[in-house]
Amino acid sequence: MGTSAIAAEIDGLRRSVEYHNHRYHVLDDPEISDADFDALFDRLVELEAGHPELVTEDSPTQRVGGAPLDQFETVVHALPMLSLDKCTNESGLEEFDERIRTRLGREDALTYTCEPKIDGVAVNLRYESGRFTLGATRGDGRKGENITSNVRTIKAIPLHLRGDDHPAVLEVRGEIYMPKAGFLAYNEAARARGEKTLVNPRNGAAGSLRQLHPKMTATRPLSMFCYGVGEIVGNWAPAAQSEVLARFKEWGLRVNPDADTVNGVEGCIAYTRRTLEVRDELPYEIDGVVVKVDELALQRELGTVTRKPRYAIAFKFPAEEASTRVLAVEFQVGRTGAITPVARLEPVFVGGVTVSNCTLHNMDEVERLGLMAGDRVLVRRAGDVIPQIVKVVGPRAKDAQRVVMPKRCPECRSEIVQLEGEVVARCSGGLYCPAQRRQAIRHFASRLAMDIEGLGDKLVEQLVDAGMVDHVGDLYRLELEQVVELERMGEKSAANLLAAIEDSKETTLERFLYSLGIREVGEATARSLARHFGTLDGIRRADEEALEGVADVGPIVARNIASFFRQSHNVEVIAALIAAGIHWPDVEVVVEEQPLMAETWVLTGSLETMTRSDAKSKLESLGAKVSGSVSARTSRVVAGPRAGSKLNKARELDVPVMDEEAFVEFLERHGVA
């Protein structure tokens, strides 16, 4: 293919990519699948890579960002970028309308253009002969920063205007912002990578545009709405703001679909009310509504005062962020035993309500924020979203106190356990803890546990609320006279419930173990424990190492079981259940002759023929315990490529080491390869 043919194909591909970018990012109406778009883009990248002399600055492939900048250059705006006067109530809008009609000498209603006030970053885009040449921040209104390289990475912004009727020079004013969905997805991915999250969509947009490396900006989910003009050189002289928005749309510039033209101040008020009602449903953050006189000739007549236009006003909605002080951090216990830190705040009005408490989710979040009791913090509440602390602000108070996870449950004083690798800490007093009693009773009575027919969620709620049942042992002390008094509980129903409770006393050890609600002990694990130890006492007295000798029981489950039986409250409830008559037949202890019984193996390095998880399962099927650390009691170490400190430790202790090839042969000999 000749150079001219390649150039023609590149030109056609660029047009196609820009067209489909426009359909996807501006119109939200794609015509082709993502895979088809990727094929077009990849072909363009391939051709440009083979012919770098044909690469142009405005090619869609250059949106990914160029070399990092040392600093941003200063840009002087051809026309100032004005800020807006503000009001916070409807009377403010009425005064604005009256003020400008008086100045214009008009008694009839004016036409206004209203649109949501995007909570983003105001920018100016310059197009020359339809080609994007400059992007700048508003700065102080007269001078801003040159962010052209970063703006090029935003796919919602066209690098070429559509059509051929645009002026020779056109400056477009608008707001670059981060959509809500993009903000949440970015933060979720950042948390998964252990990286710093963005505080809010506005700060996220501002920080993204001020990245000195455009490739960083390219990774951020940014978009833009265009709403005004700066310098115009050419034959276009729009008559109204509504016309500006219509032409922007024709030229491929993204305008807010929620903008509207209304009649009189009554129309403005109705628009602000409608917008406030749907604020939380919008896919972008807003902090109010912008109202402008629609006719541009009237705008020019009204002019500006102290760098603010007389013809426009921002109607501000209640703030969704506010600062306040953390008075203390307390710990609450959830129905599953999760321990959650909660910040007690100096009451602050934010997002339309007064907030005095704020969940901190877990201690990882406390550490991420660097939070101490006594700190001043920024609190955010959007609509019905639970309030959250987004950052610590201002200087730290001298009497600020570090937040420390308690060692004992604040409700029942049982041990708080946080397993390695888990974010959430939990109370281990599941059978006794008042915060967990409803959940514990529901589980205890469930079909696969003690199978107490008729004891459903609503009845559990009534029994607990009436003070009849504090823990599962109290179920076996219920009397007919008590139960009959409950709502919708006749004598026959009450008798049936008590009969079902009586019948549940005859059970099996594995069902009883499962009914205790020990974290991560399901039916299969309960069965394995029962068959391995034979008695409840044997399980209760087993240490973690002995528990790990049971099939299906790893270090985490072993620690859960040991922690559960260490709590005196749990032991007391179990004793009460047995005293009430719960019993089961003897269990035959199943001792399987396995070749690796009583051996402890360690896996290290990256295995190439199987995953570490598969290798662990195969060893456990042969009776081995698989440990995460090497000690003098380790029987053998399997070392794959890139094995590190564990291999060194094995050599120091003279523990036998097996490479992957020998390990696979070993498994084959034992029939588990």
Query: Distance between CA 670 and CA 673 in Å, rounded?
Result: 8
- Crossing angle for the helix pair 201-209 and 180-193, to the nearest 10 degrees: 80
- Catalytic member of 117, 292, 625, 646: 117
Sign, CA torsion 645/646/647/649:
positive
Residue 303's region, left for phi above 0, alpha for psi from -120 to 50, else beta, is left
Cα–Cα nearest to 173, from 216, 227, 224: 227
Residue with tokens 């995953």: 611
Contacts of 341 (CB under 8 A, 6+ apart): 329, 330, 331, 359, 360, 361, 362, 363, 365, 366, 403, 405
Determine the number of helices (DSSP H) and then strands (DSSP E) in the chain: 24, 26
Residues in the chain, total: 673
Query: Distance between CA 310 and CA 104 in Å, rounded?
Result: 11
Query: Distance between CA 94 and CA 91 in Å, rounded?
Result: 5
Active site residue 117: yes
Q: Are 624 and 595 contacting, i.e. CB atoms less than 8 angstroms apart? A: no
Helix H or strand E segment including 567: none
Cα–Cα nearest to 349, from 116, 86, 88, 83: 88
Helix H or strand E segment including 194: none
672 phi/psi in degrees, rounded to 5 = -125, 20
**DSSP letter assigned to residue 385:** S
- For residue 541, the one-letter residue type is R
At CA 609, angle to CA 608 and CA 614, rounded to 5?
105
Could you give the residue numbers annotated as active site?
117
